A and B are shown apart, each in its own frame.
Chain A
């Protein structure tokens, strides 16, 4: 073979070799960059979830606090909240980072895409403090209050300063703003029932308009816009399990819940905690009305003081602390099995409250 031809082959071989080697090296670095980008995104979303979790822990622990969170850094993300079978979950939509919780009740819309978020915690008492309810409220949701329950309307307006809310004489006054979701709160069932969705809200997407209606003795119904009409989301009325009064956490929880299912799912967490609390107050055998815990210590102490009125309020009178606490324990355990059983909890808690008020007058209260 002539020398010239061998030189040509060698030269071509060298170039092919360089191109292949270069491509392999480039591919390697390209793969590294893609992998790194993926890892960074996952890390960022998990950090966001972690920070949110810390914020929610802090907000949930200290009662009656309202925090305004600047979430402009999360403007590109959509936070989602769900609750199923007593386990709630929140995270960033379409990202792997998420966190689950079966202890702390958290009431929020299904999805939040807002640059400002308010977290607000309220203590849930039945009749003693059970747990703090945490509400996560995006500032792109506007709450419209209608109805004739003036007491609650004034209380709501006073306690929710900083949150987008407005009282309306009638639904015809409603003027929704751009990029806002709407939730109508009918305080007595006089405005939503039997009416269609107001004309001013017709152009909004169905999932952006919802309503809750309080009726009867502390019942609540959840509605969602479906074209020109309201669709009731809960098959049976949901009962607010609370002793009413000011800043009723269970009532506020309904207002800030996405729907009946997430509301009840989070309420179940509170009922579970209530069961364990009755055991701290009344001992492990409180279900059988055998005193223990704090109540047991009080009973033992006052048994040695025969003339004390206290002993009667603790275990002798018809309405006594021992029976009331046992009743709460039994009712709350039943309530976790069958929702209808929860109704009895309110009466049991009221009895316990009355007994405790008397104990406070005559000796040492239970809570």
Chain B
């Protein structure tokens, strides 16, 4: 092989080397971007899930203040239902309610007339990396607290979802 030929081969190898280095940089950049986009998407999805879980909780027939056949009261939970709903939700957690709430913790905290808390649903994701809390103000109707008419308390529902 001539010296010229050897030079050409070395030149080609150098060009290929630079080309693949550039390609590698390109791929690295692309995958980094994809990773960042994926994380952003995950965060967005978690936010959406938090909102959906709160929405589902607010309209749950197990908790709402019903009024016979009329439309239920808005953003109101029935205290007498709250007292027993946690046990039923826990009993059917894996076979039913997990499908509705997935990994989440749902609690109702009464702040007036007295401090009180009901943990309705608690399914924490093992080794979760993110937690998104959402709060929503609700009224709490207690039909046995006062004579002849229901008494309304005030509190909030706290929903935490995990990913």
Q: Which residues of A does B touch, CB under 8 Å?
A: 6, 10, 14, 17, 21, 50, 54, 57-58, 61-64, 101-103, 125, 127-132, 245, 272-273, 276-277, 279-281, 283-284, 292-294, 296-298, 301, 356-357, 360, 364-365, 367
Contacts and interface: CB of A to CB of B under 8 A. Distances in A.
Given A58-B55, A367-B68, A128 B61 contact: yes
24 contacts: A10-B8, A50-B45, A54-B52, A57-B56, A61-B55, A63-B59, A102-B99, A128-B61, A129-B64, A129-B66, A129-B72, A130-B61, A245-B69, A276-B88, A277-B61, A279-B88, A280-B88, A284-B87, A284-B88, A292-B84, A293-B83, A294-B78, A297-B144, A364-B143
Contacts of A64: 71
- 5 A-B pairs with the lowest CB-CB distances in the bound complex, closest first: A293-B84, A294-B80, A364-B143, A61-B59, A367-B66
Given A128-B66, A284-B87, A364 B81 contact: no
A273 B92 CA distance: 11
Contacts of A130: 61
A273 B69 CA distance: 18
A14 B8 contact: yes
B5 to A, nearest CB: 6
Contacts of B48: 54
A294 B96 CA distance: 21
B66 A276 contact: no
B5 A129 contact: no
A273 B45 CA distance: 27
Nearest to A36: B30
A273 to B, nearest CB: 8
B68 A131 contact: no
A2 to B, nearest CB: 13
B100 interface: yes
